[in-house]
Structure 1
């Protein structure tokens, strides 16, 4: 009975930590675009209604992917996306079957979507500039850390699932 209680406690702590860490993507995907644009719509919006609809879809998809990924980190990984409280288990389900870094891709999607919705090209620049430290962090810290921690399991995953551009079919571990 104790093991079940420990697992429940672990999941609760991971969920709490993940919820607290949600401040980071919310800041990058929400607060920074607001600071840059005050969410003012440029009139007329380049691309019109089609661009705005695409923007809404990108924002919605980004939000859904971030939410799903955070839940998976807490419940399956028993940790958080934060480097200071990493998961105990390698998370390779859900969106992670298509792309290794769905949270970063989703944040870029949400910022780009806001650029389309608001007709604010400055947000495309923000997304591109934000990608530079993210790419460096993933290549120089995240990937080597995951390789050390999860070994062959991560290497198999890394060889099969792309870093940034999602696969068309889900990866199946095996």
Structure 2
């Protein structure tokens, strides 16, 4: 896929996937109204804001890498031509899903909303089932030994403390 098409496709997918899952749906659940802080601790709001900011930064970085390095999109209908193993992918195999979950859980903490927390848990479970049931086998078929080495060295959900130096 040409780089311009990858950038446009990735931008479109960004609006229709993470913006809906981590923005529209949480707004629909909470209307972004502040409730009492979790466990009565105001500090949870700051933790929530930090998770949102970190998640957004991770999303933008990971999406850009898909378009610019992978020459494709995160959408299964227009996958990358190259396995992306740079940036946050050196720490965790699924930074987009981790980032979306961080944004959702961050909003739950920021707004003190247990409904958003439950939604975040359901969203993460859906991500896990999709990754295990479809994505990993598809990537193994597409990228073979390169993806297998990536899987051996980079954890699926909990980031490594040091960057993996294998791959490109």
User: What is the Cα deviation at residue 133 of structure 1?
Assistant: 1.9
Mark the runs of 5 or more structure 1 residues left unpaired by the alignment. 1-8
1:18 maps to 2:1: no
Distance 1:128 1:57 in 2: 19
Distance 1:92 1:143 in 2: 14
The equivalent residue for 1:164 is 157
Mark the runs of 5 or more structure 2 residues left unpaired by the alignment. none
The equivalent residue for 1:38 is 31
User: What is the Cα deviation at residue 131 of structure 1?
Assistant: 1.7
1:138 maps to 2:131: yes
User: What is the Cα deviation at residue 49 of structure 1?
Assistant: 2.9
Distance 2:108 2:136 in 1: 30
Distance 2:117 2:83 in 1: 32
1:142-171 CA-partner distances (Å, limit 9, x unpaired): 100100110100000000000000000000
1:91 maps to 2:84: yes
The equivalent residue for 2:64 is 71
Matched residue count: 165
User: What is the Cα deviation at residue 78 of structure 1?
Assistant: 0.1
Write out aligned runs for 1:103-122 (5 A).
103-122=96-115
Distance 1:150 1:30 in 2: 32
Pairwise CA RMSD of aligned residues? 1.1
User: What is the Cα deviation at residue 15 of structure 1?
Assistant: 0.2
The runs of at least 4 consecutive aligned structure 1 residues that moved more than 2 Å come to: 46-49
User: What is the Cα deviation at residue 71 of structure 1?
Assistant: 0.3
Q: For 2:51, which of 47, 50, 58 is the aligned residue?
A: 58
Q: Which has the larger radius of gyration?
A: 1
Distance 1:87 1:127 in 2: 27
